Structure 1
Amino acid sequence: MQAVRFLESNPIVYRLGFFSRTLDACIVLIGAAIAFSMRFDIFMSWTQPIMVLVAFNTAMSAILFPALGIYKASDRDSLWHVAMRIIVGWTTVFVIGIAFMVAVQQAFSVSRLWCCAWFAVTLALLIMVRSANHRLFRVAKSHTRVKMKPVAIVGANAYSRQLIEKLNRTPTGGFKCVSVFDDTPEAEQFTCGLPVVRSLDALAVAVRGGVIDELWLVTFREEARIQAILHEFKHEFVNIRFIPNVEGSPLFNHAVDEVIGVPAINLLASPPADHRFLPKEVFDRLFAAAALISILPLMIAIAIMVKLSSPGPVFFRQWRKGVNGNKFQIYKFRTMVVHAEDAGKLTQARRHDPRVTAVGAFLRRMSLDELPQFINVLRGEMSVVGPRPHALQHDEQYKDLVHGYMCRYRIKPGITGWAQINGYRGETDHIDKMQCRVALDLNYIENWTFSLDLKIVLLTLLRGFRGLHAY
């Protein structure tokens, strides 16, 4: 599990594993070509049975290699173990391929010498590449410093003591227990010498001061205390997890995560690093780069129009919250005359707003003022698809009024989103509009798939960015 968790937390190592599968499929094809040139004239064309066997074995290697443990990454494995896994894996694939050719009565149409040469050449190439990959894994891990997240355990009992001891034995897990929150007199006997925090106010100071990144609850018996903790930190980006003592008890709840080998039920936690999100990250950067290149003439024309419409800068920049509450400056084309507002106050644009210029009104209606946000996507601050980031003043206004409002910032904000294509964009003059928008955003987060992102992008392109409430 530690190796898997290391892969998830290290993008360089993870990509090595990700591309290894594609590389191995290419090696199977290259081995077949080399064997063919060794056995036959290099200019001879491949027969249909040979092409069928090569295609079948290539597909089977992509299916069976992961199941046979070819891509298990562990610094404790020796090169001998790596080589043995490859020998077993490639031999299994090859035997199944020969059995398939026998079943379709094409085995006698394939050269036996070519088959032997293909098996040997491909096996040698796979062992060489996998050994190099194993070496790269060990080098990358040795140069990677695991960032230890400070943890406070809520509740002092025998299980919390076991948890602290396990954390101390698992330094590569990425977590370090720094304190225990409990107000009972006998708390010290379960803390292994760690300091005891006895008041919620003191715990809040530690969390907001960055001393604690995660709270692990080891008991749900004191419901009032748990509710007080959830209420106190509902606007903070501290991860709150329930760590149940369920040794020997089967769990079938999909909300259960695993941390240092023990089950944890996420109550308020950001999505973990996951290979499923890699296509989204790659798509964001490629789509943003392609969009900026293709719309560059349009953006230049808009910039000239904005500059001529009224005195002031071309771009409007404003601080917004990103993933996990990290602030960034969002880019838009300026659509209003330059003006000043009272500190802490931000007035949304309304219908026939005198601050909006004629050019700005057109840009807002067509959402062309949002185009510079592809720069934010390219910088990794935003995603193409995700909940729309609101102004900081609006976050303060709605976080206590709309249930789950701040949970929108557990993922990257987006240029377009599920709420926007369902008509919820522009002014939120009534609280129910914001409630519906947040509900759609949370539904998107809970049911995210890469195909859903593609659907939202397609619908945005087909329907356009126009909206009845965008003015």
Structure 2
Amino acid sequence: MTVNDLPIVAFFKHLLDPFIIWSTLILTTWIYHEDFTSYYLILVIITFFISSYIFERILIYRNWRKGRLLAYVRDTVMGWLIIVAILIFLGYATKFHNQFSVEVLLTWFIVTPLMLIASHLTVRSIVASLYHRGKLRSAIVIGINENSLHFIKHIADHPFFLINLQGFFDERSSTRIDASLGSHSNGLGDQSAVDSVIRPVDFGSRLGGLESVVPYVQKHIIDMVFISLPMSSQPRIQKLMDELPDTTTSIYFLPDIYIFDLMQARFEYIGDIPVVAMNESPFTGIDGVVKSISDFMLALLIIVLLSPLMVSIALAVKFTSPGPVIFKQRRYGLNGEEITVYKFRSMTVTEDGADIQQAQQNDQRFTKIGSFLRRTSLDELPQFFNVLQGRMSIVGPRPHAVAHNELYRKLIKGYMLRHKAKPGITGWAQVNGWRGETEVLEKMQARIEHDLYYLKNWSIWLDLWIILKTVLIVLRKDNAY
């Protein structure tokens, strides 16, 4: 198989990256005259699964395709550091770290990211050479609309797909196409206007109506046909599907569902039946397992490390005001199920009814240490026990009181979609300034927009970035009271 035959990401994930990681470890053991024992083999297998997941989730392949070399190098190094941290933790947790040579592992840890970067840049150079030599797969698009324009832009942004879009076919005249697209078209009927819209891909102009598709494909030996017609055009789609198999072209359908604002939209299978997930949780399958395991391990570590501080806070709460140490409040969790969330009590009241007043600056209900606990977010520490129970996550949409949920779900479109994930101790909204009181509807709307952005763009890298920003914000004591 050649690079041109393989999707580049699949080439990295399934062939190049595992080979680099394995061969570097084998070579390192040989240099240090170490036996490649079964423990090293287990290390290779574990590293393969972890690296495949981490490298894909922090989007190093997307940065590679887009030519963002500095971002690619940064993410590769960061991804490898995460992998090394996981391996070290597993080694000490399982007591297997004594089975490995320190010199071998240290050299492997340092050399591997350098080898990965060097090999990826080499392949990138080869693919760039193929691109500039015109070794591309020819393609056409049938139907011009917002959906197909989005696809065209995607191809333009990723030249290493090695696809040469030659033109488009549409039953409508150029004037009608321009009118239907409005500001998106800028005059698709003439060549100069097309160039201004979708450069750097040499897309060409309108090549004719649908009756011209098959003759054109046969004459020019087109490799790929992308159909972007609405489902209402089923008879025309069926006619194309009947005629195009008489050629050697590959046929792809661009579904128009993506004109909607969807969350984690993707194709899946239920048994042998294909279905389209339109609003799906990002934490399904292996993603959910990794998220749950990382939450549990990190929460357990934090509880162990901060247990003296938590005991001190509990005693301070007990002796400075009457009432329980832990404040329990009903919140909505995953899939809108009701859960009980724990906090150190910071107020003289423990409201959990149909009418709950949010904490305000200089709130008279604060206990003697309540304002300090809220300002430093120390009152949130018991929620790590919620994480151990599997009710919450370290990073996710912040849980709201049930009374607030019932109010805002009627006022804000898409509000309940935030419950497609476990609620978090911290979240994307909080690290972007939307923490604290939401005294006006616009503030809650902004918070929900950030929550949905997180669900649409989740990655391990994003979680780590949110945790880091949370620490910095807590130190600055912003917006919390």
- TM-score interval for Structure 1 and Structure 2 normalised by the shorter chain: 0.3 to 0.5
Structure with higher helix content = 2
TM-score normalised over the length of structure 2: 0.47
